[in-house]
Chain A
Amino acid sequence: MPHSLAGLRAALGRPVSGAGLRAFRALFGGLMAIGAARYWANGWIETQLTDPVVRFPWPGLEWIRPLPGFGTHALFGVMIVAALLVAANRWPRPAAAIFGLCFTWVELIDRSNYLNHYYLVSLLAVLLAAVPAGRVVPVGAYHLLRFQFAVVWIYAGLAKLNGDWLLRAQPLATWLPTYADWPVVGPLLAAPVAAYGFSWAGAAFDLTIPFMLAWRRTRRAAFVVAVGFHLAVWALFPIGIFSPLMIAGCTLFFAPDWPRRGPPIAEARPIGRLAVLAAALWITIQVVVPLRCLLYPGPVNWTEEGFRFAWRVMLVAKTGRVEFRVTPPGRATPVIVRRFPDLTPLQAQMMATQPDLIHAYALRLARRYGDGTALAEVRADAVVSFNGRPAARSIDPSFDLAAAPESCAASPFIAPLPAPGRPAADL
């Protein structure tokens, strides 16, 4: 255990084979190329990026937009080529940087498209652009990537330590019965005990798998379990490349020379101070950012404040609907907005259950129905069914959403999660 910065630099700089990292690059690049091509082939470039006439930009990043003309498709073309270069280990660091830039641009175009595994891909692209890619690399490169995957698993596991997941087996108790028609295993999946079994096993898996993979004696078994777990999740839920990506991440925990044994590497070169500082900053951010939900009142899975960038995966089943009462300046009677032809079905679905998107759309309505000098007042009638609960109001219907600017502060308009047994929402 190093007791000084110099000792830490020496320990992290211990040279090891780069073969394991190279294998991970090959898997990552291959998956990303497939993922980008699949996104294109499914028509999602159009439906999610270029077709929407209204976007939900990230505050402060409104300038990130789809590129004009064929530009967004070209961006995906560049992304695929860059991913293939990463996979082939040709200029892997610049290629990872270019891939990450393109991917993150696309990811940031619309908040309603946010997915945790998209965020993970961006982070991994940054790390792969930053860490050495030679035949011999400092062991710190492995540690940093292992840490990144461990953060995902552990925060995902910690997020599962709540009543809904452990005591009500939600949302799996809602999702699994939809597979009742599967031959042989369907009736088993539909049984309530299956939801509890999957819930508890899932939490246990997330909380222990990085340690089991890190410990040499349990590594083989842990890898088999991880592959089985992620394949099962992949089969059951539409989570795209997330499962294969996590399986690829497991290989980082193997001995660095697992793909190809080479001669012993003797020469040690401490890594630079700047690299240690950058890694420390990265680690701090990764540890702190998921915890920001603690700064907000109310259950995060309900309010969704601090929900993103926190690895809160598979925790929430929400269905909802929303309509707005818009009172233009100088008018007493509101205009009722019940339908959203300017939104795509996915955007409308996401908005109906996410308070910050409801707020963003309300601000848009406030400007649209304003008179140029004053905003319209906008109130939302929004109801959500959350993890099997009956529909309940998610937004205070008396709150003028136009009066609240978008900010990182706690949203005063989010209705509290009703206690069990309260009357159903009226709308």
Chain B
Amino acid sequence: MGRTPAVVALALGAAVAGFAGCESTDAREQVVATWVEALAVPGHRAFADAAAALAERSAAACADDAPRGADIDAARDAWRAARSRWKALDVFGIGPYDAYPDRLGPHIDFRPLRVERIEARLADPPTADDIDDVGAAERGLPAIEFLLWGAEAPWPGARCQYLVAATADTARLAEALRVAWTDDFAGQLLAPDGDPYADSEAVFGALLNRMGDLILVIRDDRLGRPLGDKAGGVPQPQLVESPFSDRSLDDIRDALDTVWAMYAGAPGRPGLAAMPQVLARRAVDEASTVEVNVDARFRRAYAEARVALDGISSPLAEAVVESPARVRAAIAALGQLQTVIQVDLTGVLAVQLAFGSGDGD
């Protein structure tokens, strides 16, 4: 072997060794790890615990022949707690939430609720043994909310039987969702192997897109539809979420809390704000106007969205009729946040909105 081939071979060997020995420092992987390990997995655990507590409280409230008001209030508080944990997981509505065969999410939270069917069922309410035969629109958190607040059937009787069955069912589904995330799906996100995500870039992009889509859903479904955006401006108050518990706006706040955590990170864990591209952009733009500073824009848009939401008087069902301008202002403020996420952040981070859709040039 001559000198030149030997040098080339050595250089190639060194390069291969260098590649093999290098540990990935992908900021996207670190941020995804934060989202999964510090938010999604603990969040699903918290929801499963809260759903179990709701089932216990409901069973306790229905243990006596005639439940006391305090027991019902305790069950309602437990529902609020479970609902809060659940809405905090809105952005993670992927994988076992909506993918077959699990598809657990719609059984926990399906809209629109079919109140008339639930009322019809109260004549012969389901039990824990046969609630699986009940359609998604008649079980889960919205149905439980109706049973706790909205139903006219007297306590305990059929209402209690339905409540106990529905809460036990939701607790079971919540636990199944927790297990699916903890034992399987979290691993797929942290170490993607092609199904359903090709690589960490795809996972990162999918979850970032979920952030933007969630804001769109909040604007379009949870505020816009009740305001009448799809009905030529005629308010549709019956379309608000969590109408019976008067929790519509808190549902939105809980969802936004997680969006904020995904951006800001968890204690000791990086979020989007720590991404090198966002940091670089911030460093470059600090000498410029605040408008071109994507970090400042996110923080400002988020803060303004929260202020606009707080400006809506509760309940939302009344606000869309009596003070629609405030609801409209919240939609606009959330639109700014959506723009920062879907346009500015995805641009800075070079994330495509649709993956695997084809080539580019």
B339 touches A (CB below 8 Å):
yes
Residues B352 and A349 in contact, CB atoms below 8 Å apart: yes
B158 touches A (CB below 8 Å):
no
Alpha-carbon distance A319/B224, docked complex (angstroms): 24
A425 touches B (CB below 8 Å):
yes
Residues B25 and A181 in contact, CB atoms below 8 Å apart: yes
B71 touches A (CB below 8 Å):
no
Residues A175 and B335 in contact, CB atoms below 8 Å apart: no
Alpha-carbon distance A424/B285, docked complex (angstroms): 14
Alpha-carbon distance A110/B289, docked complex (angstroms): 40
Residues A338 and B360 in contact, CB atoms below 8 Å apart: no
> Given the complex, which residues of A lie within 8 Å of B27, measured CB to CB?
180-181
CB contact list, A177-192 vs B, under 8 A = 177-178, 180-181, 183-184, 186, 190
> Given the complex, which residues of B lie within 8 Å of A346, measured CB to CB?
354, 357-358
Alpha-carbon distance A175/B360, docked complex (angstroms): 13
Residues B338 and A321 in contact, CB atoms below 8 Å apart: yes
Alpha-carbon distance A345/B358, docked complex (angstroms): 11
Residues B361 and A116 in contact, CB atoms below 8 Å apart: yes
Interface contacts (Cβ under 8 Å), in number, total 151
A102 touches B (CB below 8 Å):
no
CB contact list, A24-56 vs B, under 8 A = 42, 44, 47-48
Q: Which of A174, A183, A427 sits near B339, CB closer than 8 Å?
A: A427
Given A180-B27, A319-B347, A345-B354, check contact A427 B361 (CB 8 Å): no
B116 touches A (CB below 8 Å):
no
> Given the complex, which residues of B lie within 8 Å of A184, measured CB to CB?
15, 18-19, 22
Identify the interface centre among A314, A319, A391, A421: most chain B CB within 10 Å of its CB: A319
A317 touches B (CB below 8 Å):
yes
Residues A178 and B339 in contact, CB atoms below 8 Å apart: no
> Given the complex, which residues of A lie within 8 Å of B351, measured CB to CB?
319
CB contact list, A220-249 vs B, under 8 A = 237-242
Residues A181 and B26 in contact, CB atoms below 8 Å apart: yes
B222 touches A (CB below 8 Å):
no
Residues A345 and B357 in contact, CB atoms below 8 Å apart: yes
> Given the complex, which residues of A lie within 8 Å of B348, measured CB to CB?
174, 385, 388
Q: Which of B216, B228, B277, B292 sits near A338, CB closer than 8 Å?
A: B216
Residues B19 and A314 in contact, CB atoms below 8 Å apart: no
B356 touches A (CB below 8 Å):
yes
Residues B291 and A385 in contact, CB atoms below 8 Å apart: no
- The minimal Cβ–Cβ distance linking B314 to chain A, given in whole angstroms, is 23
- The minimal Cβ–Cβ distance linking A374 to chain B, given in whole angstroms, is 16
> Given the complex, which residues of A lie within 8 Å of B220, measured CB to CB?
336, 338-339
Q: Which of B230, B277, B347 sits near A385, CB closer than 8 Å?
A: B347
A267 touches B (CB below 8 Å):
no
Residues B353 and A345 in contact, CB atoms below 8 Å apart: yes
Residues B276 and A180 in contact, CB atoms below 8 Å apart: yes
From DSSP, what is the main secondary structure of chain A's interface residues? loop
Alpha-carbon distance A319/B346, docked complex (angstroms): 7
Residues B342 and A319 in contact, CB atoms below 8 Å apart: yes
> Given the complex, which residues of A lie within 8 Å of B338, measured CB to CB?
321
Residues A390 and B292 in contact, CB atoms below 8 Å apart: yes
Alpha-carbon distance A240/B297, docked complex (angstroms): 36
Alpha-carbon distance A42/B289, docked complex (angstroms): 44
B229 touches A (CB below 8 Å):
yes
Size of the B side of the interface (Cβ < 8 Å), in residues, is 55
- The minimal Cβ–Cβ distance linking B188 to chain A, given in whole angstroms, is 19
Q: Which of A42, A190, A242 sits near B356, CB closer than 8 Å?
A: A42
Alpha-carbon distance A313/B360, docked complex (angstroms): 9
B63 touches A (CB below 8 Å):
no
B343 touches A (CB below 8 Å):
yes
Given A181-B29, A333-B232, check contact A319 B343 (CB 8 Å): yes
Identify the interface centre among B27, B233, B357: most chain A CB within 10 Å of its CB: B357
B294 touches A (CB below 8 Å):
yes
CB contact list, B191-224 vs A, under 8 A = 201, 212, 216, 219-220, 224
B359 touches A (CB below 8 Å):
yes
B350 touches A (CB below 8 Å):
yes
Given A314-B361, A346-B358, check contact A424 B350 (CB 8 Å): no
Size of the A side of the interface (Cβ < 8 Å), in residues, is 60
Residues B19 and A178 in contact, CB atoms below 8 Å apart: no
Identify the interface centre among B26, B233, B348, B358: most chain A CB within 10 Å of its CB: B358
A260 touches B (CB below 8 Å):
no
> Given the complex, which residues of B lie within 8 Å of A237, measured CB to CB?
360
> Given the complex, which residues of A lie within 8 Å of B336, measured CB to CB?
426-427
A423 touches B (CB below 8 Å):
yes
CB closest chain-A residue, reference B23: A183
CB closest chain-B residue, reference A338: B220
Residues A336 and B224 in contact, CB atoms below 8 Å apart: yes
Alpha-carbon distance A174/B348, docked complex (angstroms): 6
Residues A48 and B360 in contact, CB atoms below 8 Å apart: no
Residues B361 and A313 in contact, CB atoms below 8 Å apart: yes
Q: Which of B25, B343, B359 sits near A115, CB closer than 8 Å?
A: B359
Residues A181 and B358 in contact, CB atoms below 8 Å apart: no
Alpha-carbon distance A105/B146, docked complex (angstroms): 55
Alpha-carbon distance A174/B350, docked complex (angstroms): 6
A135 touches B (CB below 8 Å):
no
A117 touches B (CB below 8 Å):
yes
CB closest chain-A residue, reference B28: A181
B344 touches A (CB below 8 Å):
yes
A368 touches B (CB below 8 Å):
no
B340 touches A (CB below 8 Å):
yes
> Given the complex, which residues of B lie within 8 Å of A238, measured CB to CB?
359-360
CB closest chain-A residue, reference B352: A349
Residues B229 and A423 in contact, CB atoms below 8 Å apart: no
> Given the complex, which residues of B lie within 8 Å of A320, measured CB to CB?
343
> Given the complex, which residues of A lie within 8 Å of B18, measured CB to CB?
183-184
- The minimal Cβ–Cβ distance linking A238 to chain B, given in whole angstroms, is 5
Alpha-carbon distance A338/B216, docked complex (angstroms): 8
- The minimal Cβ–Cβ distance linking B308 to chain A, given in whole angstroms, is 13
A328 touches B (CB below 8 Å):
yes
Contact with A along B41-62 (1 / 0, CB 8 A): 0000000000000000000000
CB closest chain-A residue, reference B294: A390
> Given the complex, which residues of A lie within 8 Å of B24, measured CB to CB?
181, 183
CB contact list, B227-286 vs A, under 8 A = 228-233, 276-277, 280
Residues B339 and A391 in contact, CB atoms below 8 Å apart: yes
Residues A183 and B19 in contact, CB atoms below 8 Å apart: yes
CB contact list, B1-42 vs A, under 8 A = 15, 18-19, 22, 24-29
> Given the complex, which residues of B lie within 8 Å of A44, measured CB to CB?
357-358
> Given the complex, which residues of B lie within 8 Å of A278, measured CB to CB?
none
Alpha-carbon distance A113/B360, docked complex (angstroms): 9
Alpha-carbon distance A294/B361, docked complex (angstroms): 22
- The minimal Cβ–Cβ distance linking A414 to chain B, given in whole angstroms, is 17
- The minimal Cβ–Cβ distance linking A369 to chain B, given in whole angstroms, is 10
Can you list 12 contacts pairing A with B, beta carbon distance less than 8 Å?
Answer: A48-B357, A113-B358, A174-B348, A177-B277, A183-B24, A335-B231, A338-B220, A338-B224, A346-B357, A388-B348, A391-B343, A421-B289
* Extra pairs beyond A48-B357, A388-B347, A421-B291 (13, CB < 8 Å): A113-B358, A116-B361, A117-B359, A178-B349, A183-B22, A239-B361, A333-B233, A334-B233, A336-B224, A385-B343, A389-B292, A391-B347, A426-B332
